[in-house]
Homo-oligomer: A and B are copies of this chain.
């Protein structure tokens, strides 16, 4: 910077002010400094800048999964607005319990960021305390962390949209494939989505048959296994409500292999509207994923700007009817008669 100042014929103090867009710098002077900087292709050292009292210009993003579409999309939306605001994104993957321990105990992001965004994962009380230690703004997105400003979908409402659709189609024997994250102990299967199942059934006056509820780790093959289990029932369901599209797709595979037709024999509905749901003609409940990331990013910006955010944002979901659901045709017993489970 000394070079720039010299070249512009000003002191370092002025150069600094000009470069960081401070008021009280004569326009002509500012221009001269900027020109000099440009000429020398100079950029301020963020370290020095920060050290001398600024902010880091970075925000940490903590995610439980990177390669899953949902999380990656959230991240994509978030990164876009943060990058627009000239903030750098520091990515922290907290996969299993061990990662979690390391992250929250060592707090590697400490002193490195101005804010942290927690994507799609709950934060336990002790972890919250550690986070508080960082003394930065915190925003949550895609999960149900109501202790912080958050943006998320309404799991209960989404679940209801899926379930009510099935019930509307005449199904009464509806299976549910719930997912839990094996890497995150104590992290319950999305509670809202499960509650939706029970409430929808209750509202329709349909008794709950516990055998129709299967909880598996997240993933397609797990969904396939769950479906196989449901098909093994004496009276298999005529419709299946899966907590997510990937799981639903797994169920679809099992059904196909068992020689069952979708939706004639069994209807399947998922949640999320994964891009491949469209390709596989899966009925689902769409949530604006990327947008949730975007909104979270805006919250961070607002917070960093000194703003206050008192409450969270809940984004709307929408039932997308495709080819995997249809009216109940044959009884479960008939299905069982026509093909052996896979």
Contacts and interface: CB of A to CB of B under 8 A. Distances in A.
Interface string A241-254: 00000100110110
Interface in A27-80: 41, 43-48, 50-51, 56, 58, 61, 65-69, 72-73, 75-76, 79-80
A9 interface: no
19 contacts: A41-B133, A43-B110, A47-B50, A47-B56, A65-B76, A67-B72, A67-B73, A67-B290, A69-B69, A69-B72, A80-B93, A83-B92, A88-B90, A88-B108, A221-B279, A246-B275, A250-B279, A253-B280, A253-B281
A311 interface: no
A198 interface: no
Given A66-B73, A86-B108, A250-B279, 15 more contacts: A41-B133, A46-B47, A46-B112, A47-B56, A48-B51, A51-B51, A76-B93, A79-B93, A83-B93, A91-B91, A220-B276, A249-B276, A249-B280, A253-B280, A276-B276
Contacts of A47: 46-48, 50-51, 56, 111
| This chain's copy number in the assembly | 2
Interface in A94-128: 107-112
A226 to B, nearest CB: 13
Interface band, chain A: 35 or more
A288 to B, nearest CB: 13
B66 A249 contact: no
A332 interface: no
A51 B51 CA distance: 8
Nearest to A93: B79
B83 A76 contact: no
Contacts of A89: 90-92
Contacts of A61: 91
Contacts of A46: 47, 111-112
A89 B45 CA distance: 18
Contacts of A92: 83, 89
Across the A-B interface, give the 7 residue pairs with the lowest CB-CB distance, nearest first: A66-B76, A67-B72, A72-B72, A47-B50, A67-B73, A220-B279, A47-B51
Nearest to A245: B276
A224 interface: yes
Contacts of A249: 276, 279-280
Contacts of A83: 92-93
Q: Kindly name the residue among A46, A56, A88, A279 whose own CB sees the greatest number of chain B CB atoms within 10 A.
A: A279
A278 interface: yes
A289 to B, nearest CB: 8
A45 B92 CA distance: 19
Nearest to A69: B67
Contacts of A88: 90, 108-109, 112
Nearest to A110: B43
A280 B278 contact: no
A258 to B, nearest CB: 13
Contact of A278 (B43, B91, B112, B221): B221
A79 B94 CA distance: 10
A66 B56 contact: no
A60 to B, nearest CB: 9
